[in-house]
Each structure stands twice: as C-alpha cells, then as structure tokens.
Amino acid sequence: MSSLRYGYITGPVLGALWMVVLSTTVSVAMSFATGDAFRPSILLSLVWGALGGGLIVAMGRNMMIQAVIAVAVIATVMIGFGPMVTGDNAGMFSSIFGAAVLGGTFAVSLAVILTDITPGELTRHEFEAAVIRFLTGFGYIFFTAIVLIPFYVMVMTSLKNQAELIQNPLDFSIDLSKGWDLFRSYDELFRQFNFGTYLLNSFIISVLTVFITLLFAIPGAYAVARLRFRGRAAFSRSILLIYMVPMIVLALPIYIAFSMTGLRNSLGGIIMIYPVTTIPVALYMLQGYFRGLPAEVEEAGLMDGLSRLKVIWKITLPLSLPALASVSLYVFMIAWNEFLLAFMLLDDPTKFTLTRGIASLNSSEIPRQHLMAGSVIATVPIMALFLGLEKFMTKGLTAGSVKG
C-alpha cells in the first residue's frame, strides 16, 4: 500500500481505473440510448487513463491540461484507438457525442479526484482522500445505474413492439413520429384488459387497508406505549415476533379456509386479510412515536377532566400527525404492492388487483410490451406518491423497524 502513496503512482493508477469506470459507463449509456455498438476497450482505457492521470499530477490541474486531455480522448476515440470503441454501424453524430461526453467528464472529474495529489510522496491523508473521491464517484455511477436501468428498460419496453426489440435488444430509441400510437399498449390494457377496474380495485383496497389498520393500531399502540399493565413488555416483543411469520405459511391455511367459506375470489376477503398483515407493523411504528411524545401534555389533559379516549383523540393524535402520515404511506405501499395473497385468492378477472392483473399478463400469448405497460401502470402511482411524500417515508421507516 505504502508504495502506492507517491503522486506519480497514485495519479496514473486512479486515472487508469477511473477511465475504465467512465468508458464502461459511457458505452453502456450510449448503447442503451441509441442501440449502436459502443464498447469500452479495457486495455486502452487503462493506458490512456494512466497517461491522463500522470499528466494531471505532473502538470498540475489547470484548464489547459484538462482541455488537452479532453481533446486527446475525443481524438483517439474518433480514430478508433481510444478507451471506447464505436462499432461501424454507429452514427457519426452519436460517435462524436459519446466521445465528447467521455473526454469532457474524464478531464473534469479526474482533476477533482486528484485534488492535492502532487508528484512526490503523499501523506496518508491526501492519498486516502483521493481514493475516497474515486470510490465516491464510482459509487454514484454504480448505484444510479443499477437503480435506473431496470426502470428504464421497463418504461421503454412498454413503448416498443416485440419485433423491434428482438431485432436489436439494445435499441430503446423511440420513434416520436408515432405520436399517441406509442401508448398503444396502455390503451389496450385499459380498454380490453380491464386495467381501469384493477387500478380502482387496488386503490380502494389500499385505502381501506390504511383506514382499518389505523383503526386497530392506534388504540393498540397507545396502550402499549402509555398504559401500564401486566404483560406489556412481553406484548411489545411478541409484536415483532408476529411479523417474523412468513406470509406463505399463513397463506396456505387462509387459502383453505377461504375456499371452504366461499370468501375466495372476493375483494371482501382480501380486505379482511390485508389489514391484519399490516397492523403489527403499524402498531410497532406508532408505539415508538407515541413513546417519544411528552407525557406531561396528556397528564394535563387528564387533570382537566378529559377521559383517556378523549386524550388520545384531542391530544395524542393531533400531535402525531406526521407519524400517522408515514405509517399510512407505508401501509398503503404494502397493500398496493402485495402480490402473494392476491395471486392465491383471486381467480376472477373482474376482481383482480393491479398486481394480480399483471400476473395474468405473463403468458406467451400476450406481448411483453403489455406486461411492461402493466408494470408501469402499477409502479407510477406508488412512485409519485412516494416521491411527493419522501420525507415522511424516510422518517417513518426509520422510526420503527420495518418489514420488507
């Protein structure tokens, strides 16, 4: 390790690795965007990256050097000897664009990574700071890529037809001249596959689940958090125990019981089951929050002659609105995304929830485009809700422990 701590070694090594990261990233991004053949050349990336790193360390980080590096990268890519290789079929414009992006980002970001790196011996602090900046850059690219790619594929596939995709699975460019015809799958799902009904079913079930869950969990959480009774400690532990029971173990007897009582295939049955799966989570999250509220306010209420129930209604609940919001959001998410029970208990296509509806699209007779369009329909509302209320979600999830 210590031999690495010299500027003229650290610079080229980090430069080489960073070039590999960037050329791979830009190649993948350009391939996904245009469908053309971009690929990184690992060996040349290492060589050019090391040269760039060495240059920045040796000459200092100024605009001139950065410009030189950027231009050099673009030029080598264009003559086919650079860190990124473009296929013959790639268009002129996309080649230049890819090369420019690669050269520009490399020159700018490497200079940032190699801040304070001087040719001579480095302190441990300087060296590690540079490595951390490199890892940070890599981390942002890596996580953003792994999170975005599946969703990108989902959305784009829903807009393209099967034949186009088999021809070139990487070509996600969409033909904007088609206009509304791009959304044909969505149109068909709503018109022929009942997705309007499924959307409504999912929404009603989720909202009802939230209300029923809160109705049960609020008094329960209050009792566990505030009231003294024998078995309180044991109780708050067994809540945790309950959500360690796997759903599939419960689903089997529930399936049998519902089959025998005729509750299978009814939304009523689903609404009976869903809240029970979320009550323990909600109770646990809420009792954590209730404990954090000052008891003095409630005691003042009691002194002034309010009953316990009135205290809950008039004092505790208004104070815990943020917690109620996050619990509601979380329960809504669980109910909206629930798949197993809906899959096992619903067979009648007029009563499906969204997740069950998507499962029914998974057949060889229905184009993949529809399957992805269905997935987008299920994903967009929950994402929109979640992004809008992200603060609540983050707080709520970490306030109490949460099932996943």
**3-state class of 86 per DSSP?**
strand
Given the complex with another protein, which of 62 and 144 has the nearer CB atom? 144
Looking at residues 317 to 356 of the shown chain, list those that interact with another protein (rule: CB under 8 A): 333, 336-337, 339-340, 354-355
Q: What is the dihedral of CA 227, 229, 234, 236, to 10 degrees?
A: -10
- Can you tell me the distance from the alpha carbon of 224 to that of 400, in angstroms, rounded to the nearest whole number? 14
Q: Which of residues 41-80 bind another protein (CB under 8 A)?
A: none
CB atoms within 10 A of CB 395: 14
Distance in angstroms between the alpha carbons of the first and the last residue of the chain? 40
Contact, 98 vs 86, CB < 8 A? yes
Is there binding between residue 303 and another protein (CB under 8 A)?
no
Identify which range of 174-182, 187-195, 293-301, 369-377 contacts another protein by CB under 8 A.
369-377
Long-range contacts, 260-264 (Cβ 8 Å, 24+): 264/345, 264/346, 264/347
If one asks whether residue 280 binds another protein (CB under 8 A), the answer comes out as: yes
Nearer to another protein, 69 or 375 (CB): 375
| Token output for 312 | 């809950």
CB of 246 or CB of 294, closer to another protein: 246
Is the CB of 59 or the CB of 143 nearer to another protein? 143
* Of 7 and 280, CB closest to another protein: 280
Stretch that binds another protein, among 6-14, 26-34, 71-79, 175-183 (CB under 8 A): 26-34
261 vs 258: CA distance, rounded Å: 5
Q: Please list every residue from 227 through 256 that binds another protein, using CB under 8 A.
A: 227-230, 232, 235, 237, 241-242, 244-250, 252-254, 256
Q: How far is the CB of 49 from another protein (least distance, A)?
A: 17
Give the residue among 107, 96, 105 at the shortest CA–CA distance from 74. Answer: 96
Nearest distance from C-beta of residue 142 to another protein, angstroms = 9
Which C-beta is closer to another protein: that of 71 or that of 322? 322
State how far the Cα of 213 lies from the Cα of 198, in Å rounded to an integer.
22
Q: DSSP assignment of 176-206, as one string?
A: GGGGGGGGHHHHHHHHHS-HHHHHHHHHHHH
Q: Binding of another protein at residue 271 (CB under 8 A)?
A: no
Return the axis-axis angle of helices 232-242 and 195-226, rounded to nearest 10°: 160
Binding mask 205-224 for another protein (x = CB under 8 A): ----------xxx-xx-xxx
Contacts to another protein from residues 374-403, by CB under 8 A: 374-376, 378-379, 382-383, 386-387, 390, 393-394, 397-398, 401-403
Q: How many residues bind another protein (CB under 8 A)?
A: 107
Nearer to another protein, 49 or 54 (CB): 49
For residue 3, the 8-state DSSP code is G
Sequence-distant (≥ 6) Cβ neighbours of residue 262 within 8 angstroms: none
Smallest separation, CB 397 to another protein (Å):
6
How many C-beta neighbours within 10 Å does residue 124 have? 10
Stretch that binds another protein, among 49-57, 95-103, 185-193, 276-284 (CB under 8 A): 276-284
Single residue of 37, 65, 96, 263 touching another protein by CB under 8 A: 37
Subset of residues 145 to 204 that bind another protein, contact rule: CB under 8 A: 146-151, 153-154, 157, 162, 165-166, 168-170, 172
